[in-house]
């Protein structure tokens, strides 16, 4: 039996508290598993017939608890946990059919771009990439077949901030679905469903899990109709999160509020430092007053997050990337330790060069994800990295 109720937050989770911190630390609030306070890992593929669960591709208690938790944090009614962020994005695209059209932000995670180019375009779905910061201009790109507007905000890696409420009404007025990738801010800082989005997606690999030790993804909605379809898609494609990964994500989420505060304060301090560094041309961080969408950011989110990008004035990127003693040169973001990433050859390698350069992903662009280290150590490391030429 796979009823929708399996993905709906329990009453206990909903009424436990209105405070985000309490809901994060208590998770989905399911009780009754031998009194275990840490929610158990149900490492089973199948279940004796006749109970709530039948087969773990379809549902698993640990995954269900995680889905309740993430839905509750996003203030949505139904959550779905997937094997990766891209599995979540792909499941949202699975709501479409050949002939449908999608309007999507031009600056977005390179893997999402590859997913579109290599897979979904081949199935007859059409995509228009556009700068969605100006919904009035984006409006002209809407077609009769447009079924979905998909936005990341802040965008990866240029940290553009898109106006969520305005995009939601642009979509809503025309019966178009509006989906938002909320990976960079998490519901701790931004809740797109409360601003009119229909679906929120996440790379749960990043801040939500938060420890660089698992890969997973999420979709959350408040629409029963969309939930029925997303549930069917997950069960049918078989791309749901495994029990152990679900457990790691559940454990990570318990400390999400504390971590997000620290990630954001470290990112802010690093952004201020980099902005005054003689080797740095420009810093892209929406928590800085110099960011063109600083005011919008403050309006639709309660924090600017733990990621920034910056542009070097010279070509000496290699020594900077490899020079960190604490800050490691690696893909990904949102974990306990700081990472520096080179979008051109890592996260955005599959985006064609001309598109990359139009967006601003040039050979001098670096992305930094601030971890939980002491800020003095991070600034010292940045200082010595930037002294290498
Ligand atoms: C904004 C964003 N969305 C989606 C993804 C894909 O997530 P995953 O790597 O968990 O598949 C990423 C990965 O970096 C990302 O940064």
Name the residue of 82, 86, 107, 199 whose CB sits within 8 Å of the most ligand 1 atoms, as the mutation to test its pocket: 86
- The pLDDT score that the predictor gives to residue 3 is 35
Closest residue by Cα to residue 343 from 325, 355, 356: 356
Instruction: Convert the pLDDT of each residue in 205-248 to its tens digit.
Output: 999 999 999 999 999 999 999 999 999 999 999 999 999 999 99
pTM: 0.95
Q: What is the pLDDT of residue 240?
A: 97
Report d(CA 289, CA 296) in Å as an integer.
11
**347 CA: nearest ligand 1 atom:** 14
The pLDDT tens digits for 307-332 are 999 999 999 999 999 999 999 999 99
Which of these, 196, 200, 192, 203, lies nearest to 219 by C-alpha position?
200
313 is catalytic: no
Ligand 1 pocket, residue 181 CB under 6 Å: yes
The catalytic position among 63, 147, 206, 356 is: 206
| pLDDT of 32 | 54
Encoded tokens for 255: 């400390």
What letter would DSSP give residue 240?
B
The pLDDT of residue 172: 97
What is the predicted pLDDT for the residue at 9?
Answer: 47
Q: Is 206 among the residues known to form the active site? A: yes
Query: How many angstroms separate the CA atoms of 350 and 356, rounded?
Result: 9
State how far the Cα of 85 lies from the Cα of 82, in Å rounded to an integer: 7
- What residue owns the CA closest to ligand 1's atom 2? 109
**What does pLDDT average to over the chain?**
94
pLDDT at 364 over 80: yes
Which class does domain 10-253 fall in? Answer: alpha beta
Q: Which is it for the CA torsion 53, 56, 62, 63, positive or negative? A: negative
Q: Is 120 exposed, middle or buried (0-12, 13-18, 19+ CB in 10 A)?
A: buried
| C-alpha–C-alpha distance, residues 331 and 305, integer Å | 17
Domain ranges of the chain: 10-253, 256-386
Q: Is 111's C-beta closer than 6 angstroms to any atom of ligand 1? A: yes
Residues 6+ away with beta carbon under 8 Å from 282: 310, 311
Identify the pLDDT of residue 4. 37
pLDDT in tens, 118-168: 999 999 999 999 999 999 889 999 999 999 999 999 999 999 999 999 999
Q: Which CATH number fits domain 256-386: 3.40.50.300, 3.90.1150.10, 3.60.10.10, 3.40.50.720?
A: 3.90.1150.10
**What pLDDT is attached to residue 8?**
46
b/e 122-145 (16+ beta carbons within 10 angstroms → b): eeebbbebbebbebeebeeebeee
Average pLDDT over residues 94-114: 97
Degrees, nearest 5: CA angle 110-111-113: 65
Q: Judge whether residue 1 has pLDDT over 50.
A: no
CA 342 / ligand 1 centre spacing (Å): 15
């Amino acid at each position: 039996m796979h009823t929708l109720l399996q993905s709906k937050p329990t009453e206990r989770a909903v009424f436990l508290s209105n405070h985000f911190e309490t809901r994060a630390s208590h998770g989905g609030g399911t009780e009754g598993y031998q009194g275990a306070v840490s929610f158990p890992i149900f490492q089973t593929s199948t279940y004796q017939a006749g109970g709530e669960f039948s087969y773990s591709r379809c549902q698993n208690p640990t995954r269900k608890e995680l889905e309740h938790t993430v839905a509750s944090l996003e203030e949505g009614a139904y959550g779905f946990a997937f094997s990766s962020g891209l599995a979540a994005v792909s499941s949202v695209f699975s709501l479409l059919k050949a002939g449908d059209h999608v309007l999507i932000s031009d600056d977005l995670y390179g893997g999402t771009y590859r997913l579109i180019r290599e897979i979904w375009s081949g199935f007859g779905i059409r995509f228009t990439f556009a700068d969605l910061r100006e919904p009035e201009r984006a409006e002209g790109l809407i077609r009769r077949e447009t079924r979905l507007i998909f936005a990341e905000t802040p965008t990866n890696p240029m940290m553009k901030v898109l106006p969520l409420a305005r995009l939601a009404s642009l979509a809503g007025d025309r019966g178009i679905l509006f989906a938002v990738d909320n990976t960079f801010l998490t519901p701790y800082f931004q809740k797109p469903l409360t601003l009119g989005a229909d679906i929120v997606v996440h790379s749960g690999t990043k801040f939500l899990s938060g420890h660089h030790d698992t890969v997973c993804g999420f979709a959350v909605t408040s629409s029963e109709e969309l939930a029925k379809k997303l549930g069917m898609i997950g069960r049918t494609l078989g791309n749901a999160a495994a029990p152990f990964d679900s457990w790691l994500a559940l454990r990570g989420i318990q400390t999400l509020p504390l971590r997000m505060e620290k990630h954001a304060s470290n990112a802010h301090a690093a952004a201020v430092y980099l902005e005054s560094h003689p080797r740095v041309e420009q810093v892209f961080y929406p928590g800085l007053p110099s960011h063109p969408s600083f005011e919008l950011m403050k309006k639709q989110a309660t924090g600017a997050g733990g990621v920034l990008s910056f542009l070097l004035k010279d070509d000496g990127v290699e020594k900077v990337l490899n020079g960190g003693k604490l800050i490691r040169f690696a893909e990904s973001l949102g974990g306990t330790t700081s990472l520096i990433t080179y979008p051109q050859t890592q996260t955005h390698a599959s985006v064609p060069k001309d598109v990359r350069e139009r967006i601003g992903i040039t050979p001098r662009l670096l992305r930094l994800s601030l971890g939980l280290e002491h800020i003095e150590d991070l600034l010292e490391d940045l200082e010595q990295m930037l002294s290498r030429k």
